[in-house]
């Protein structure tokens, strides 16, 4: 029966993503914020809601390995599978802002987590640092985007995004879309964990793989739908923003509620996340698009990691 509910959850995720992408794109144009920044903020925070719920609950229940494993696994899945599949569907145009600001921030945040987690814990002070960085980064994005959008309008540049009939429809699509994504991912995770438990997987392993992939389903659905609609800015922005917020916002909130200690999560998992983040940065520097072969390379990278984790169960 769990398999049936998994299939139902995937259908819910698809339609939730469809509503979120359409509403977010229209709202971005209406309020004068670039679709890229919408992807980096509203969409990425929204699609990270399952990770937030799962990690905070896990931390409160003393399941720190599940909390940390969920974030690390989600970040690796986001680039390896989500960007990989999105690029295979349609090569993704790279905006200059991503190359100069957002992807370097993602890499630096991953390195910061690695350094702070060398003692296998995130203290309350370290969690507060994450929260302050989250607020600073998000504030900078919103302020700078408004300025750049006004400059683009002055130059007569127009975006091809179609506006909905009313801004309330945008908000409705975003709200319903997010609700569908959160419910669908929760349904998927619940049933996936049951199946994984029957297979005898450890808490850390479940967090790094099954739960991480499950809570990343909103990002997957959103980015794939965005790629199909040729909205590369939302497809990439969603992944990069989610990876930044997964560490800064989710671990920040979880660590403030209760210090996180997870000795079962070793530094190798963090190094894999840093490695694939650096690979994304290198690919972006090579051209103006993330090509199909690069998307395939991301997927291969993830499959190698997943195979290693399975052999160490």
pLDDT confidence tier of residue 301, bands split at 50, 70 and 90? very high
Q: Residue 63 phi/psi, 5° resolution?
A: -100, 65
The answer for 32, left when phi > 0, alpha when psi is -120 to 50, beta otherwise, is left
Q: Alpha-carbon distance 308 to 209, whole Å?
A: 11
Hey, what domains does the chain have and what are their CATH numbers? Answer: 2-311 (1.20.1420.30)
Contacts of 69 (CB under 8 A, 6+ apart): 203, 204, 205, 206, 207, 208, 211, 212, 262, 265, 269
pLDDT digits 0-9 by tens, 13-32: 767 767 776 777 777 777 77
Nearest to 50 by CA among 151, 145, 183: 183
Listed range (39-48, 85-94, 149-158, 229-238) with the worst mean pLDDT: 149-158
Count CA atoms within 13 Å of residue 120 on its CB side. Answer: 9
């Amino acid at each position: 029966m769990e398999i049936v509910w998994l299939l139902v959850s995937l259908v819910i995720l698809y339609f939730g993503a469809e509503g979120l992408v359409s509403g977010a794109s229209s709202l971005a144009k209406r309020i004068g914020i670039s679709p890229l920044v919408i992807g980096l903020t509203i969409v990425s925070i929204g699609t990270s809601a399952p990770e937030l719920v799962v990690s905070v609950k896990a931390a409160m229940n003393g399941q720190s390995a599940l909390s940390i494993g969920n974030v690390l696994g989600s970040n690796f899945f986001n680039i390896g599978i989500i960007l990989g599949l999105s690029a295979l569907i349609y090569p993704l145009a790279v905006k200059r802002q991503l190359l100069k600001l957002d992807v370097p921030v993602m890499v630096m945040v991953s390195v910061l987590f690695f350094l702070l987690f060398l003692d296998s814990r995130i203290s309350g002070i370290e969690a507060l640092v994450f929260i302050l960085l989250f607020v600073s980064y998000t504030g900078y994005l919103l302020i700078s985007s408004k300025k750049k959008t006004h400059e683009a309008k002055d130059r007569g540049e127009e975006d091809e995004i179609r506006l909905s009939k009313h801004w309330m429809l945008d908000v409705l699509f975003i709200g319903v879309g997010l609700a569908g994504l959160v419910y669908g991912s929760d349904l998927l995770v619940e049933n996936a964990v049951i199946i994984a438990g029957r297979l005898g997987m450890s808490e850390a392993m479940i967090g790094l793989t099954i739960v991480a992939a499950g809570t990343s389903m909103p990002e997957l659905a959103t980015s794939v739908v965005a790629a199909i609609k040729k909205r590369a800015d939302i497809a990439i922005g969603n992944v990069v923003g989610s990876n930044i917020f997964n560490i800064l916002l989710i671990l920040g909130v979880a660590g403030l509620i209760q210090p996180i200690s997870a000795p079962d999560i070793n530094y190798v998992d963090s190094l894999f996340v840093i490695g694939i983040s650096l690979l994304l940065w290198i690919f972006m520097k090579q051209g103006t698009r993330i090509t199909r072969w690069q998307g395939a390379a991301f997927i291969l990278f993830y499959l190698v990691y997943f195979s290693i984790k399975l052999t160490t169960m």
